[in-house]
Each structure stands twice: as structure tokens, then as C-alpha cells.
Structure 1
């Protein structure tokens, strides 16, 4: 049913649950698992980041640690991708690039108090493929 499953991670509790679900689905369907983490530089504004490579480097380090954790949980059987930009746009673009059959993501990010976060809402509304939110 699914040949490729994409999971997005930002380190939130719901993203961790999404990783668990994606690992299970990829195993059940013998699908290729992809994981993406997006460095959201918008959060700090372009002017704040333009001269501060340390902030971007720290964000990249955190994102790479998240992807490494997914790799360890998948026993290395995962393709990882680190991207920069708007999370919903980058996740959507990556899903298109790999022709993902299913996207799995947390229903809210680290800083969202909403029932569904803005990234998850945008992906559910605008992505042209199945999305599972956890």
C-alpha cells in the first residue's frame, strides 16, 4: 500500500509519536522511510540571522541530532534530509521530491498550544497526498 513514508521531526512530543508511527508503518508495509527536519530561520527574522552564523549552526546541530535519533531508532534504515526555510513548505517540497506515499507528522510543534499546529494544518490542507497526524 505504501512504498515510501516521510516523517517530519522537530523534537516535540507529538513528533516523537509520529516517528514511532512512521517506523511501524514502514516496517509493516516494507516501505522506504524518509525523515526530514527543517531549520526554521523565520522564527528569528532574516535580519537577526544575517550576521549570526552561530544561531543557524546551533539550529542545524539540533536538527541533525533529531535526524540521527530517527536513524538509530530505524537501525539505519532511513533516508534523512535537513532543510532550511518555512517548515510546511519544505516538508511539502521534500514529499514531492521523493514522491512520498504518506506523510506522518506531529499534530503540533514544540511551541504550539493549539490542538493542531500551524505547520500540520498547512500540510493537511495543501499537500496533495495522504497525511497522518499524531
Structure 2
């Protein structure tokens, strides 16, 4: 049913809550697990510090991928592919889904509501609305207060 499962992560607890589900599906269907970390390249930073910030974010992405890879291997996932990409997170996820013919996306959501959700948007919501593949979202913890 699922041959290639994508777990997009930003290294937060919200994302990591979905990792158990991604691993469970990968083991159940003997699927290849893809772990993707997208570095947001359009951050409003001073030009002088941009290169250092991007390097730090890429290193954070590698750590998040390594952590997910270690957990997946420990649970019996045989095939794991990790990628750090740059760009807009939701666009990067959608492009990856298309480029690698992903069968299922398993991702965390922060459960924002009210003004925060309106202002910040939701990567998970954009992926759910736009992806051609099924998307399983996992909310971590309690949603933020509405105000």
C-alpha cells in the first residue's frame, strides 16, 4: 500500500510526535522512510549574518534527520533517506512528494488556533490542501490558547 513514506520535520516536539506514526507505517508496510528538513531561506535577517544563520539551520536539520534516522533504525526500519533542502517549507514538502513519488506524508502540527494560526499560517494545512498523496497529521500536546 505504501512504498515511500515522507516524514517532514523541523526538529520540534510537534514534528517528533508524528515520527512514531511514520515509523509504525514504515515497519508495517516495509516502506522506505524519507526524512525531510526544509531550511526556510526567506527569513528577515541582516545580510551580514545570513550565511552563518543558514549554516546553523542546515546543521540543525542534519541533527534532526540523524535523530529520526536513529529512532527509525532502532524500531526496525531498513531503508531511510534523509534530505536537507532550502526554500519555503510547504513548497519544499510538496516538491519532494512529487520528485520522489511519495505515497504517504506523516507530519506533525502545532495545533495553533485563532490569531496565531491566521497570522502564521500552517505548513501542515497547506500540505493537506495541496498534496496529491494522503497526509496524516499528528497534533502534539494541547493547542495554544486562542488569544
Give CA-to-partner distance per residue, 1:62-116, whole Å, 9 cap, x none.
01100010111122731011100100000110011110000011123xxx73387
Give CA-to-partner distance per residue, 1:39-84, whole Å, 9 cap, x none.
0122335xx3476311110011101100010111122731011100
DSSP-derived class of the 1:103 partner: strand
TM-score computed with the length of structure 2 as normaliser: 0.80
Q: How does 1:31-110 map to 2 (within 5 A)?
A: 31-44=31-44, 48-49=46-47, 52-75=50-73, 77-108=79-110
Q: Is the 8 A contact 1:71 1:77 kept in 2?
A: no
Aligned residues: 129
- Runs of 4+ residues over 6 Å off in structure 1: none
Distance 1:88 1:131 in 2: 13
Ranges in structure 1 where 5+ consecutive residues have no aligned partner: none
Compared with structure 1, are the counterparts of its residues 85 and 30 closer, same or farther at alpha carbon in structure 2 (3 Å cutoff)? same
Distance 1:67 1:90 in 2: 16
Distance 1:91 1:79 in 2: 14
Q: Is the 8 A contact 1:39 1:60 kept in 2?
A: yes
RMSD: 1.9
User: Highest CA radius of gyration, 1 or 2?
Assistant: 2
Q: Is the 8 A contact 2:4 2:34 kept in 1?
A: yes
DSSP-derived class of the 1:106 partner: strand
Q: Is the 8 A contact 1:26 1:32 kept in 2?
A: yes
Aligned to 2:24: 24
TM-score computed with the length of structure 1 as normaliser: 0.87
